[in-house]
Each structure stands twice: as structure tokens, then as C-alpha cells.
Amino acid sequence: MTSTSPVATAIGDTQSNGNIECIPQPCCPLCGRDGQRLYAALADWLFGVSGNWNLDSCRTCDIAWLDPQPIAEDIPKLYSSYHTHRAAPPARIGRLRSATHQCVLAGMGYPIDQPKEILPRLLSHVPSIARAAALGVMSLDPSNGGTLLDVGCGNGEFIGRMRSFGWNVSGVDPDPAAVQKGRNEGLNIFAGRISDVPGNMLYDVITLSHVIEHVSDPVDLLSDCRKRLRPETGILVITTPNIKSLGHRWFKNYWRGLEIPRHLILFSPDALSTCIARSGLYLRSMRTETRIARLIYPTSACAKNGNQNVGERTGFSVGAMCMGYAFQFMEDVLTYFKKDLGEEIYCVCTAPAEDDGHRN
């Protein structure tokens, strides 16, 4: 299938933005109309990438994008201090939370010994807690089993976890340092992008966990994923920040989900649905999730208070963390009334049958 997405094309010459060469992207990546300025002269307060960046939006398509966007050769400069280059910090979840997540995964059928304590068992029935635990395995049913490819796998933490549950896992990532770290753990990781994965390799499940927002042509990415799914039975699972979330409405240009300039496109549920349809995939389900709201709040509040290099922080005050949990609780309540307020979009897509004209 040939993509019908009118991806924005370069207008004029490249321009320098700090030490990064960029191309103007004034047009909507979905409909091609001129965008409207959403935020101007944004700085990277997370990891300190140089330059001032704008975010444009299209009200018709409900999508936002970086303008200008870095040229392909300079994309690696955006990730020089990014978290995939180093070991993940130690998990900060307490014993109770860990035990609760074990209860949830055991209830889903994963081979985990369920803790005997009463409190974790009770907490595992709280809907928001259960969803957060399930999303740790992308809500994949263990009975699916089979082969799994994680696109943008970083150092392989997720596929390592899924391998321990019996999945036959692989990953692909463009970051050489992250790829090497994963390979050192005995993981099968391709260096590069999904297009570098051999086209004759088909998977039962492909996961895109906070990846699609990092590419300039989401329809092309989804199409490449579709071509590597088993016809009819293969599924693609996507998570990505939600531009319509409560956190964005609350913090606006200080919302952690913007992650300027690494996030090139930010989606609403409708915009992501459009991209999925154009790629030839079928949308099975979509919802917004609140699980990262407690993390979004302290980071965004810290930036709003004028702090820089927030992404390098190893912790926040007890008060800030408590506010994060309160914010998530509020978001949990509000999403009962307005479904699109969650901080991230979660959706499941299915591959078409091989003979429907989409596979090429």
C-alpha cells in the first residue's frame, strides 16, 4: 500500500537552530494545510538540546508537530543525553506496589508467583492500579505467546522482561549504545529502524511504546510495521502521549509530554486513528490511560518553576510526588466523564489478510 499521507515537505533552505540543521515544516502532516502556531520559542528544559523550537497545530486534524524539524543527519544530536544511553535508574516502586503488580500479572495468566499478603491482592482490584500493571506488559495476553518485536526497544528492558515470561523476543533501535547494551544481555536487537528488519520476518506482535511521536512520517512507520505482522492474526500495540490530556491542558507548554525537540508529532486519538487507517491496519481498540500522570506532574511542575535539565533529575521532593499521585487520582476520576483526558493513548491494531491488497 502506498501512503496517502500528505507529509509536510521542506520549504526553502535548511536553517540552523543552535547546532542543529532544520527544515521548516509549516504544514499539517495529515491534511497538508498551513498550521497554526501553538507554542513559540520553546527550549529543551529536559535534556538541554540547543535551539528554540516552535509547535504548530491543525484544528481540523487535531494534531501538533515540531516546526522546524531537524534534518535526518542531525537527529542523533537530540539524543546525546537521552536515557537509552545509560542504565535505567533503580526502580523506585516500593515493595507494596511491586507485590500488587505481581498480583495483577499473575491474574492475567503470567507465570508469576502471586504474593500471599492480603493488601496487594486487594489493591490489584483497583482499576487504575490494575491497568498500570497490565501496561507494563503492554496489556498483552500471555496466551498470545509467539514472536514479539519491540520497535524502539532502547536497551531492551521491556523485551528482557517479556522473554522471562516465555515470549520469543526481538528488538530494533537506532541508538548504537542502547543496542550494544541489550546485546550484552543476550538479547536479539537489530540496529536501525523498522525498515532495517528483514521483510521476510513476520511477527505475532509488534509493540511501539512511545515511539511513533519521534518520527516525521507516522503512516510510513505504521506501514512498515504492518508488512512485518502475520497476516490477519498479527497485532500492533501502540502507546503515545495524548495532546488532549489533562496534563497538557494543565501545564500547556511545560507539559512533560511535549518533549521538545525529540517529539516531532503529537497525536490526539482521532489523529492517530487517521494514521492507522491510512497505513492499512485495522483499529481494534483505543483508549487513553492515566498511569503516567503521577510522573508527568512533578516533572512538568519543576519545569514550570524555571528549572532546567529536569530529565537528569534522579528524584523529586515527597511533596511533589504526593501531588503527582493526587493529580493522577483526579485524572482517573475525570476520565470517567471525558474519556480523552488520559496522559497517553493506548491502542491495538490488527493486520489485514494477506490477499486484501495492502501487503506489498
Q: What is the pLDDT along the chain (360 residues), one digit of tens a residue?
A: 333 344 444 445 778 887 899 999 999 999 999 999 999 999 999 999 988 999 999 999 999 999 999 998 988 888 877 665 454 444 445 788 889 999 999 999 998 888 888 999 999 999 889 999 999 999 999 876 799 999 999 989 999 999 999 999 999 999 888 899 999 999 999 999 999 999 899 999 999 999 999 999 999 999 999 999 999 999 999 999 999 999 999 999 999 999 999 999 999 999 999 999 999 999 999 999 999 999 999 999 999 999 999 988 878 899 999 999 999 999 999 999 999 999 999 999 999 997 554 544
Q: Element (H or E) spanning 250, and its range?
A: helix 246-251
The model's pTM? 0.90
- Going by C-alpha positions, the residue among 279, 275, 261, 251 that lies closest to residue 28 is 275
What is the model's pLDDT at position 7?
43
What is the model's pLDDT at position 83?
62
- Going by C-alpha positions, the residue among 128, 178, 131, 130 that lies closest to residue 158 is 178
What is the model's pLDDT at position 3?
38
348's CB contacts (< 8 A; 6+ apart) are 139, 235, 236, 237, 238, 283, 284, 285, 286
What is the model's pLDDT at position 183?
94
What is the model's pLDDT at position 134?
95
The whole-angstrom separation of Cα 102 and Cα 104 is 5
Dihedral angle over CA of 128, 262, 3, 222, nearest 10: -40
* Cβ–Cβ under 8 Å, residues 55 and 260: yes
The whole-angstrom separation of Cα 102 and Cα 160 is 17
- With the C-alpha atoms ordered 291, 169, 141, 204, is the resulting torsion angle positive or negative? positive
Beta strands in 174-214 (DSSP E): 189-191, 205-209
What is the model's pLDDT at position 2?
34
Residue 195, Cβ neighbours under 10 Å: how many?
13
What is the model's pLDDT at position 6?
44
Query: Domains of the chain by range and CATH?
Result: 91-350 (3.40.50.150)
